[in-house]
């Protein structure tokens, strides 16, 4: 509830995604802000809350808890003033919170200098198929559910910067997916039902709160039907003390997989790539493309090198590999790929060395 006021856009509404003609992936904003509960406005508690807030912001920007324990990060957590932009108090439902904002560029520099991964704003969107067992019933958690687990997922989503949505469980969903499909990991059945949602991945999970402890299991799959197999991308089962811990571990597991795929650390090598966009008819398209590349976690710098007719070629200096770059570009709804890599031909650009190839050509849909 409390973090919804800060970053409600990260937790997507399934109904809207069904009705709107949108693409998958989601842009996560306010990665440098957080709310921290405080008991009073004392200086000591404020300083403690700012340190807690920095840990949360580092987690959202790197995606991995391991980054918080890095010596460089720990030093800043103890003395975060040089990274702080502003703070202010808020009261939510009678409780007091400190809203803290940090300088984005300095946060990213901290991670880069420590050779930690940086996770950009464009992130995969995940559909959660969750069966919850409690003392009263066994049910599939839907987008409008008032169960505690629904709000706990929202809070964990925002804390980790992992955009989520739940199924609406309307007539179509109820006809296509049952409790046993999710619990029994009938992947093909759930994958087909997931196609109507604009998500990149889907999770099949169950949480059992009956008894003194809480049991959970989850498995993550790609939504694309040609990639879906019986083997999950990542999975885990565990017994924990409460449902809050179960939800946090599920989101942490999903986040760790995404970090390994989409968060980019500086390789230390001088790598570059050339990317060509076609059908460029307006100057604002070039401006938008350059702005887009500058915010990608895989890109150090971008330069427009050639403009030939309606084609524009950009040179990108990279933190990671060219494969990292292509993977991130697939998440951007404004970018569509036209063809795969091909041998160099005479296309009006200056010829490249014979051992190089053009990458795929793209179209900007902004």
Note the pLDDT tens digit of each residue in 174-217: 999 999 999 999 999 999 999 999 899 999 999 999 989 999 99
Entry pTM: 0.84
For residues 91 and 123, give the distance between their C-alpha atoms in angstroms, rounded to a whole number. Answer: 30
| Residue 93 region by backbone torsions, left for phi larger than 0, else alpha for psi between -120 and 50, else beta | left
Domain extent at residue 359: 271-364
Residue 21, in any domain of the structure: no
Closest Cα to residue 233, out of 259, 194, 206? 259
Same domain assignment for residues 105 and 127? no
Same domain assignment for residues 185 and 104? no
Categorize the per-residue pLDDT at 346 as very low, low, confident or very high, splitting at 50, 70 and 90: very low
Say if CB 222 and CB 233 are below 8 A apart: yes
pLDDT at 340 over 70: no
Categorize the per-residue pLDDT at 168 as very low, low, confident or very high, splitting at 50, 70 and 90: very high
Last residue of a domain, one of 262, 293, 315: 262
Categorize the per-residue pLDDT at 356 as very low, low, confident or very high, splitting at 50, 70 and 90: very low
- Helices assigned H by DSSP within 85-186: 104-113, 148-160, 171-176, 179-183
Residue 60, in any domain of the structure: yes
Same domain assignment for residues 219 and 282? no
Categorize the per-residue pLDDT at 359 as very low, low, confident or very high, splitting at 50, 70 and 90: low
């Amino acid at each position: 509830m409390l973090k919804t006021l800060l970053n409600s856009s990260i937790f997507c509404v399934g109904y809207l995604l069904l009705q709107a003609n949108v693409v998958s992936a989601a842009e996560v904003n306010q990665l440098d802000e957080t709310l921290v509960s405080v008991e009073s406005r004392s200086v000591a508690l404020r300083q403690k809350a700012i340190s807690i807030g920095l840990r949360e912001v580092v987690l959202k920007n790197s995606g991995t808890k391991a980054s918080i324990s890095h010596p460089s990060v720990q030093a800043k957590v103890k003395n975060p003033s040089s990274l702080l932009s502003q703070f202010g108090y808020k009261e939510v439902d009678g409780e007091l919170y400190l809203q803290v904002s940090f300088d984005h560029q300095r946060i990213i520099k901290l991670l880069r200098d420590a050779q930690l991964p940086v996770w950009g704003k464009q992130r995969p969107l995940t559909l959660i198929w969750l069966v919850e067992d409690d003392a009263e019933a066994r049910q599939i958690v839907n987008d409008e559910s008032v169960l505690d687990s629904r709000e706990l997922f929202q809070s964990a989503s925002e804390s980790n910067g992992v955009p989520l949505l739940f199924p609406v469980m309307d007539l179509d969903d109820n006809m296509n997916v049952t409790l046993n499909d999710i619990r029994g990991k009938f992947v093909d059945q759930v994958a087909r039902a997931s196609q109507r949602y604009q998500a990149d991945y889907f999770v099949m999970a169950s949480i059992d709160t009956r008894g003194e402890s809480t049991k959970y299991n989850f498995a993550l799959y790609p939504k694309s039907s040609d990639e879906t197999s019986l083997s999950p991308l990542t999975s885990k089962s565990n017994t924990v003390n409460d449902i809050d811990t179960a939800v946090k571990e599920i989101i942490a597991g999903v986040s760790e997989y995404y970090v390994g795929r989409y968060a980019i650390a500086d390789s230390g090598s001088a790598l570059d790539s050339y990317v060509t966009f076609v059908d460029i008819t307006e100057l604002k398209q070039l401006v938008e493309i350059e702005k887009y590349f500058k915010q990608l976690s895989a890109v150090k710098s971008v330069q427009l090198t050639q403009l030939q007719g309606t084609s524009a070629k950009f040179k990108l200096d990279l933190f990671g590999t060219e494969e990292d770059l292509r993977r991130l570009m697939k998440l951007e709804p404004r970018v569509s790929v036209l063809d795969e890599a091909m041998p160099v031909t005479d296309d009006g650009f200056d010829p490249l060395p014979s051992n190089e190839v053009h990458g795929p050509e793209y179209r900007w849909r902004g």
